[in-house]
Chain A
Amino acid sequence: MMIFTLAARELRSLFLSPLAWSILAVVQFILAWLFLSQLNDFIMLQPQLKMIDNAPGATELVIAPLYGSAAFIMMMVTPLLTMRLISEERQSGSIALLMSAPITMSEIILGKFLGVFSFLVLMTAMVTLMPLSLFIAGPIDAGLLASLFMALSLLLAAFTALGLYMSTLTLQPTVAAISTFGALLLLWILDWAGDKVGSEQASSLFSYLSILRHFEALGKGVFNSGDLIYYLLFISLFLILSIRRLDAERLQH
Chain B
Amino acid sequence: MSSDLLINVSHLDRYYGSLQAVADVSFELRRGEVLGFLGPNGAGKSTTMQIITGNLAPSSGQVQICGLDLLDNPRAAKARVGYLPEQPPLYRELSVDEYLGFCTRLNRIPKAQQAAALKRAKQRCGLEQVGPRLINNLSKGYQQRVGIAQAIIHSPDVVVLDEPTVGLDPIQIREIRHLIRELAEDHAVILSTHILPEVQMTCSRVQIINQGRLVFSDDIESLNRSMCARSLILGLQQPPPFSELESLLQNIDGIESVDALEDGRWRIRHAEAQNPATPIARLAIENNWELRELSPETRSLEQIFLDITATEQTLPETTDSNTEGEQAA
Seen from chain A, the residues whose Cβ lies within 8 Å of a Cβ on chain B are 2, 5-6, 9, 12-13, 16-17, 92-104, 250-253
If the complex has contacts A97-B103, A97-B150, are A253 and B17 also in contact, measured as CB distance less than 8 A?
A: yes
* Complex contact B106–A5 (CB within 8 A): yes
The reply to whether the CB of B289 lies closer than 8 angstroms to some CB of chain A is: no
Chain A proximity mask over B273-306: 1 for CB below 8 Å, otherwise 0 = 0000000000000000000000000000000000
If the complex has contacts A13-B91, A13-B93, A92-B87, are A98 and B106 also in contact, measured as CB distance less than 8 A?
A: yes
**Interchain CB contact (< 8 A) of B89 among A2, A13, A93, A102:** A93
**Interchain CB contact (< 8 A) of A99 among B55, B92, B94:** B55
Shortest distance between the CB of B63 and any CB in chain A (Å):
12
* Complex contact A16–B94 (CB within 8 A): yes
A17 to B94, CA, bound (A): 10
Which B residues touch A100, using CB under 8 A?
Answer: 53-55, 78, 81-83
If the complex has contacts A92-B87, A251-B57, A253-B16, are A97 and B106 also in contact, measured as CB distance less than 8 A?
A: yes
Which B residues touch A94, using CB under 8 A?
Answer: 89-91
The 3 closest A-B pairs by CB, nearest first: A93-B87, A97-B89, A102-B79
* Complex contact B78–A101 (CB within 8 A): yes
Seen from chain B, the residues whose Cβ lies within 8 Å of a Cβ on chain A are 15-17, 50, 53-57, 59, 74-76, 78-79, 81-83, 85-94, 98, 102-103, 105-108, 150
Shortest distance between the CB of A116 and any CB in chain B (Å):
16
**A104 nearest CB neighbor, chain B only:** B75
* Complex contact B93–A17 (CB within 8 A): yes
A12 to B102, CA, bound (A): 11
21 pairs across A/B with beta carbons < 8 Å? Answer: A5-B105, A9-B91, A13-B93, A92-B90, A92-B92, A93-B85, A95-B89, A96-B53, A97-B89, A97-B150, A98-B106, A99-B54, A99-B55, A100-B82, A101-B107, A250-B55, A250-B56, A250-B57, A251-B57, A252-B59, A253-B17
A6 to B15, CA, bound (A): 32
Which A residues touch B89, using CB under 8 A?
Answer: 92-97
Which A residues touch B55, using CB under 8 A?
Answer: 96, 99-100, 250
A95 to B79, CA, bound (A): 16
A97 to B90, CA, bound (A): 8
Shortest distance between the CB of B252 and any CB in chain A (Å):
59
If the complex has contacts A17-B93, A99-B55, A102-B108, are A5 and B78 also in contact, measured as CB distance less than 8 A?
A: no
Shortest distance between the CB of B162 and any CB in chain A (Å):
10
* Complex contact B76–A102 (CB within 8 A): yes
Shortest distance between the CB of A147 and any CB in chain B (Å):
37
* Complex contact B93–A2 (CB within 8 A): no
Which B residues touch A96, using CB under 8 A?
Answer: 50, 53, 55, 83, 85, 89
* Complex contact B102–A252 (CB within 8 A): no
Which B residues touch A12, using CB under 8 A?
Answer: 94, 98
**Interchain CB contact (< 8 A) of A252 among B15, B50, B79, B88:** B15
Which B residues touch A252, using CB under 8 A?
Answer: 15, 57, 59
**B50 nearest CB neighbor, chain A only:** A96
Which B residues touch A104, using CB under 8 A?
Answer: 74-75
Which B residues touch A98, using CB under 8 A?
Answer: 106
Which B residues touch A93, using CB under 8 A?
Answer: 85-89
Which A residues touch B86, using CB under 8 A?
Answer: 93
Shortest distance between the CB of A195 and any CB in chain B (Å):
46
**A4 nearest CB neighbor, chain B only:** B105
Which A residues touch B106, using CB under 8 A?
Answer: 2, 5-6, 97-98, 101, 103
A218 to B92, CA, bound (A): 41
Max chain B C-beta neighbours (<10 A), residue from A2, A6, A13: A13
Shortest distance between the CB of B78 and any CB in chain A (Å):
4
A85 to B104, CA, bound (A): 21
